[in-house]
Amino acid sequence: MMRVVSLFLPRWATDRRRRRAGGAAPPRETLLALAGRDGGRRVVLAVDAAAAAAGLHAGMPVAKARALVPGLLIEKADPAADVAALDRLALWAARHYAPIAAADPPDGVVIDTTGADHLHGGEEAMLTAMLARLGASGLAARAAIADSWGAAHALARYAARPIAITPPGAAAEAIAPLPLAALRLSPALVASLRTLGFVCIADLMAQPRAPLARRFGPEILCRLDQALGRLAEPISPAYPPDPIAVRRHFPEPIAAPETIAAAIAALVTPLCTALEAKGLGARRLDLICHRVDRAAQAIRIGVTRPLRDAKRLTRLLCDKIETIDPGFGIERLSLAATCAELFDAKQHVSALIENTASDVSDLIDRLVNRLGEDRVYRAEPVATDVPERCLRRIPPLAPETGATWPAAWPRPARLLTPPERIETLALLPDHPPVSFTWRGVRRRVAHADGPERVFGEWWKRDAELAAVRDYFRIEDEAGERFWIFRAGDGEDAATGSQNWFLHGIFA
């Protein structure tokens, strides 16, 4: 089932103008409007949120807008630059979320995320993170996901608050109550339909198709079928200005996995030759399968180091052939190195002179492409005394930094996240507990070592200015060893709650 994300940026032109580099953007407190020509009139083409709240809107004469808001800042609109920036945003989406992404002018981006949402924690997590990243850049956005471009486009603009997720197969019910303009019909056609009493998409869906086509032409049925997924609407993916890409057209559509694998191998070889000519190695490859029904499917692979080994790249791509649904056949394959870096060639040393280090990059690449980047990583120590912050995830083949964990005080093999509250019997302030109760089981302490005092990192959070923890390593009568702490110094309430917690278990 196809899944398409539509990003809607309602104030794209004004938000982009405020983000201009070099300090040229107007102050946040200034109301901003963009103006252009409509025939012989000078009219407002876009307004920011504050100007809209003051009663301004697109299509209003500039003179009237100035009269309503005396301090209004009027700047010249640049639609061509807005569309070019939208193309760059589509490239950003293609790099971070899915191979097939394109601009949806004048204020949107469409992304085919079929089979890619699990790499980002699911559809809801993916959309939420997407909007958060855009919001951090000063771009207001809404997003919707559905089975077709038309349905996602309509929901993003008329139903997303700020996201809308339509279950597979439920596009008809989701778009039925939306206004007619959600179908991307021309304004004149929407006005004609309203004159006849049509208000929402459900009104059109309930009508016989033939009379609609005779009265209004093919546009209504075309847009309706696209929204319902009955008519394919291909997305032409955005590529960098000078992509390293190869294509192959087939005289007859192909569908068998063996034939697709052979075609992939025939594409990878010239791609590697092109990379070698530029001194580059691929870090990410996107294979797009164009089917005879105008639908497109994509495969994305990534590698941990720049690579132009045709055999390895072919194997990584062929491992994902099972995810391709060829439908009635594939008529064209496109393979592009959407991320390439300088290739540092190395001379292999003879085993008679010295032993070479084992190369596990092939195994790691296969695991990353099968499981996802977030599930294949290496832990690196972080210079901090706070246990929850003592490590971070880094790529498996990232270079060693030499960082180590503190050796003066041993750390448990397993940390509980978050620490679990325990009930204790202890002599304050510096004595370890005599006994504690964890998960309903009471344990008597046979041996204890501590306290080890850990101070809060006040330079990161003001709340940790006075916070401390006192950690103890304890062993119960059964020989099990635990790592527990008291939040606070046992005397001053400002240093912590004075409650006890179990934070780790020693092997």
Sign of CA dihedral 66, 70, 75, 79: negative
> Which long-range CB contacts under 8 A does 374-377 form with residues at least 24 apart?
374/119, 374/121
Per-residue pLDDT averaged across 270-281, rounded? 93
**303 CA to centre of own chain:** 19
Q: Which helix (H) or strand (E) holds 226?
A: helix 219-227
User: Among 50, 25, 33, which Cα is nearest to 137's?
Assistant: 25
Q: Is the pLDDT of residue 497 over 70?
A: yes
Asked if 257 and 321 count as a contact pair (C-beta separation under 8 A), the reply is yes
- What are 12-59's pLDDT values in tens digits? 998 888 776 444 445 556 788 999 988 888 999 999 888 988 899 888
Asked if 451 and 471 count as a contact pair (C-beta separation under 8 A), the reply is yes
- What are 454-470's pLDDT values in tens digits? 998 888 888 888 899 99
In whole angstroms, give the CA distance from residue 346 to residue 350. 13
Both tokens assigned to 136: 């951090």
The whole-model pTM stands at 0.72
Asked if 145 and 164 count as a contact pair (C-beta separation under 8 A), the reply is yes
In whole angstroms, give the CA distance from residue 294 to residue 149. 13
Both tokens assigned to 445: 């302490």
- What are 299-353's pLDDT values in tens digits? 999 898 899 999 999 999 999 999 899 989 999 999 999 888 888 766 555 555 5
Residue with tokens 């280090």: 357
Sign of CA dihedral 193, 198, 201, 207: negative
Buried b vs exposed e over 190-215: b needs ≥16 C-beta within 10 Å? beebeeeebeebeebeeeeeeebeee
Q: Is the pLDDT of residue 274 over 60?
A: yes
In whole angstroms, give the CA distance from residue 32 to residue 26. 8
pLDDT at 39: 83
